[in-house]
Structure 1
Amino acid sequence: MRVAIVAESFLPEVNGVSNSVIRVLEHLRRTGHEALVIAPDTPPSQPRADRIYDGIRVHRVPSRMFPKVTTLPLGVPTPRLVKVLRGFDPHVVHLASPALLGYGGVRAARWLGVPTVAVYQTDVPGFAASYGIPMTARAAWAWFRHLHGLADRTLAPSSVTMESLVAQRFPRVHRWARGVDVLRFAPSARNQALRAQWSPRGKPIVGFVGRLAPEKHVERLIGLAAGGAVQVVIVGDGVDRDKLQSAMPTAVFTGALYGDELAAAYASMDVFVHPGEHETFCQVVQEALASGLPVIAPDAGGPRDLVTPWRTGLLLAVNEFESRLPDAVAHLTSERSRYALAARRSVIGRSWPVICDELLGHYEAVLSPFVRRQLVSTRHALGE
């Protein structure tokens, strides 16, 4: 199968969208499929982004910064999209968190008669509220309903998101979750030297991982850090970093971490807190659970599917999050061993190969019967 992935965000940006696309690309290569990525270039003021990823061609489109909309560069679709897609001749187009570039992608695919699978991954109406954008939630929903209505299938990452999309009259919505690397993110990555560096007085370590941007609401940790009972560690970078460092002078800010360093950071925490409610899935919560961390998150969005209250962590009402956070942390640190074991067990069966095989099933479901028969014949001819 030939799969063209139109990604609203991709490397060098590191976030939930780009990480998911990377995992899908790895699985496509491993299972013998061809792939093409169409993604934003870096802004004109920065070095050009790579045109190849792990042997896979990445076609870049111009990007622009829209600070009032997002901290990430947005790709601007061009007429060349049709030519690029026609040249690759995909069986299916995967739209990763489609917005501006994704809209161009779905229009080009429809013009060429190629089926599309749109992965809804960003709570844009919620983000708009966080950034103070005058665009109303109703207008945002109307735009994305139109965009996803052009796709043959929309995939929602959590039950809460799926319910929201159905309530907003999005058509053809199906569930597709996210995988987690349970070998990399594991309790065995715990680093005592790192813990001593972060918390020389031996205070429990409460951590956050993610972009430091308005929609993540990291400012909800300010009171916890000021209380002095725990050591707060913030892993990540973004436009809010300077402001947050000024507000939390006792917190440790590591900057963005990746790979084994990130895994060690997770595992070296005692409790993980994700304070933002605008998450369609929340991959960092899943990585924290795999690392054996009890999790505190808002009782909203994707974390509802991931955190089992009083077993793997706690879900707090959004309007009470800051006031209830210190007591929640105290409870989880006092019973950490029990929660940690249950946290790890809760995600063991969610490997990326399993999740990506489900995605291939969604791809095949939107193909025409003729194309499906062609692909089956090809697999038989190859002895697969």
Structure 2
Amino acid sequence: MRILDVCAFYSPYGGGVKTYVRRKMELGAKLGHEIVILAPGEREEILEARDGAILATIPAPLLPLDRRYRYFDDEPALHAALDRWRPDFVEASSPWRSASMVARWQGSAARSLVMHADPLAAYAYRWFGTIANRETIDKGFSSFWQHLRRLDDGFDQVVTAGQGLARRLTEGGLTKVATIPMGVEPGYFSPTLRDESLRAELLASCGLGPEATLLIGVGRLAPEKRWPMVIEAAEAAAGRHPMGLVLIGTGTARSKVITAIGRNPHAQLFEPTSNREQLARVLASADALVHGCEAETFCMVAAEARASGLPLIVPDEGGAADQFVEGQGMLYRSADPVSLRDALTHFVDTTPMFHRMRATADAPSTRTMDQHFEELFASYQAMAYSRAA
């Protein structure tokens, strides 16, 4: 089956979507499918072609807010590309304008919308959550809910990676929601990669000795990730327990993160690495992953941390909460720095080593990306056959 992914979030500069796309291309071919990734690019070209997998682009402008990315803006050009590729199944990976374009395409292929983003949680609930409840906010954003229901009508399936988002979409009137959790890239992350020398080195960069607790945060430096809140809470908790915070990431909110760190020597910001083996070693060598974003659809880094035997200290909503296992870290109230501070303090009070022992024992059960794609492609085949029947 030829599966074409209209991949609005793809960027050659890396990130979770690139990791996801690469594994989709590799595994799809092994499972007997042809995977075509159609991304917005500088020009129309085939960037990569190998057995069973193609990465192609059509011309698209740069995204003003983050010029590492482009966005689909030419519906006839997108439809023409779909006509040329003649897919058996079409997947749209963004709930924005490109999904509407895919829904309006006149081709006969079955199609699925994969919710790789949760705009209401990332923006509306974050902006207005301190002054209104979600029911009120949803009423204020009724036009977006209408947009989502129209997409539900235009697709055969709406895929989410977690139960929280699936529940909200269903309560909002969508009728074709299916939850197919994502997973970690196999072969990279393991508790066996723990390196006490690396841990001591990272703590030393924070001006601390090996007796301190090492927290790791990984992800884009963007407002919805709430890194300044994480920095503030860690600094407050460190007043009771020595605690180092290492952040790995880059993005549009970098200056705000640097300002939040200020002169705090116990928090350090490092550029992200494209070396997956190096990231896996760093994760396995920390004492806990701390995350600030309640708007994740899956939270890949939390899953990678789980596979590394790392306890999680994460908000109680969104994809990060879906990764949490009781006794292997702490949940805190989303967007609440005091609750996060208390969670960090309680984590150390209850002995991080015990949390990590339980997380290490549970690490092999972490779901893999291959399991995700096997289930996803099976659902696509069933829908394609049903439509053809």
Q: TM-score, normalised by structure 1?
A: 0.86
> Which amino acid is the alignment partner of residue 181 of structure 1?
E
Which residue is equivalent to 2:100? Answer: 103
Moved more, 3-12 or 69-78: 69-78
Which residue is equivalent to 2:174? Answer: 170
CA distance 1:213–1:50, shift in 2 (3 Å): farther
- Give the superposition deviation at 1:226: 3.0
Matches within 5 A, 1:1-384: 1-41=1-41, 51-52=47-48, 56-67=54-65, 72-108=69-105, 111-129=106-124, 136-200=140-204, 201-202=209-210, 203-227=212-236, 228=238, 229-249=242-262, 250=265, 251-258=267-274, 259-309=276-326, 311-318=327-334, 321-333=336-348, 334-344=350-360, 345=362, 348-369=365-386, 371=388
The answer as to whether partners of 1:273 and 1:296 remain within 8 angstroms in 2 is yes
Q: What CA distance in whole angstroms lies between the structure 1 residues aligned with 2:296 and 2:387? A: 38
The answer as to whether partners of 1:39 and 1:61 remain within 8 angstroms in 2 is no
Q: What CA distance in whole angstroms lies between the structure 1 residues aligned with 2:343 and 2:227? A: 17
CA distance 1:84–1:50, shift in 2 (3 Å): closer
- Give the superposition deviation at 1:367: 1.2
CA shift digits 1:262-292 (9 cap, x unpaired): 1122112111111111112211111111111
The answer as to whether partners of 1:286 and 1:347 remain within 8 angstroms in 2 is no
Q: What CA distance in whole angstroms lies between the structure 1 residues aligned with 2:117 and 2:381? A: 24
CA shift digits 1:94-120 (9 cap, x unpaired): 112342223222322xx0111101111
- Give the superposition deviation at 1:346: 5.4
Q: What CA distance in whole angstroms lies between the structure 2 residues aligned with 1:289 and 1:280? A: 16
The answer as to whether partners of 2:24 and 2:35 remain within 8 angstroms in 1 is no
Q: What CA distance in whole angstroms lies between the structure 1 residues aligned with 2:11 and 2:190? A: 25
The answer as to whether partners of 1:11 and 1:49 remain within 8 angstroms in 2 is no
Which residue is equivalent to 1:380? Answer: none
Q: What CA distance in whole angstroms lies between the structure 1 residues aligned with 2:296 and 2:62? A: 24
> Which amino acid is the alignment partner of residue 253 of structure 1?
L
Structure 1 residue matching 2:87: 3-state secondary structure = coil
CA shift digits 1:52-89 (9 cap, x unpaired): 2656231233033243x998543323412222222222
Structure 1 residue matching 2:178: 3-state secondary structure = strand
> Which amino acid is the alignment partner of residue 102 of structure 2?
G
Q: What CA distance in whole angstroms lies between the structure 2 residues aligned with 1:243 and 1:354? A: 38
Structure 1 residue matching 2:181: 3-state secondary structure = coil
Moved more, 145-154 or 323-332: 323-332
- Give the superposition deviation at 1:50: 7.2
The answer as to whether partners of 2:46 and 2:57 remain within 8 angstroms in 1 is no
Identity %: 26
- Give the superposition deviation at 1:371: 4.4
Q: What CA distance in whole angstroms lies between the structure 2 residues aligned with 1:349 and 1:189? A: 16
Moved more, 164-173 or 350-359: 350-359
Q: What CA distance in whole angstroms lies between the structure 2 residues aligned with 1:264 and 1:214? A: 27
> Which amino acid is the alignment partner of residue 348 of structure 1?
S
Structure 2 residue matching 1:60: 3-state secondary structure = strand
Structure 1 residue matching 2:92: 3-state secondary structure = strand
Q: What CA distance in whole angstroms lies between the structure 1 residues aligned with 2:101 and 2:59? A: 11
Q: TM-score, normalised by structure 2?
A: 0.84
Q: What CA distance in whole angstroms lies between the structure 1 residues aligned with 2:260 and 2:321? A: 29
Q: What CA distance in whole angstroms lies between the structure 2 residues aligned with 1:148 and 1:285? A: 29
> How many aligned residue pairs are there?
363
Q: What CA distance in whole angstroms lies between the structure 2 residues aligned with 1:330 and 1:188? A: 27
- Give the superposition deviation at 1:156: 1.3
The answer as to whether partners of 1:3 and 1:93 remain within 8 angstroms in 2 is yes
Q: What CA distance in whole angstroms lies between the structure 1 residues aligned with 2:46 and 2:191? A: 34
Which residue is equivalent to 1:381? Answer: none
Structure 1 residue matching 2:250: 3-state secondary structure = coil
Q: What CA distance in whole angstroms lies between the structure 1 residues aligned with 2:213 and 2:191? A: 16
Structure 2 residue matching 1:52: 3-state secondary structure = strand
Q: What CA distance in whole angstroms lies between the structure 1 residues aligned with 2:355 and 2:222? A: 29
Unaligned runs of 5+ in 2: 129-136
> Which amino acid is the alignment partner of residue 55 of structure 2?
R
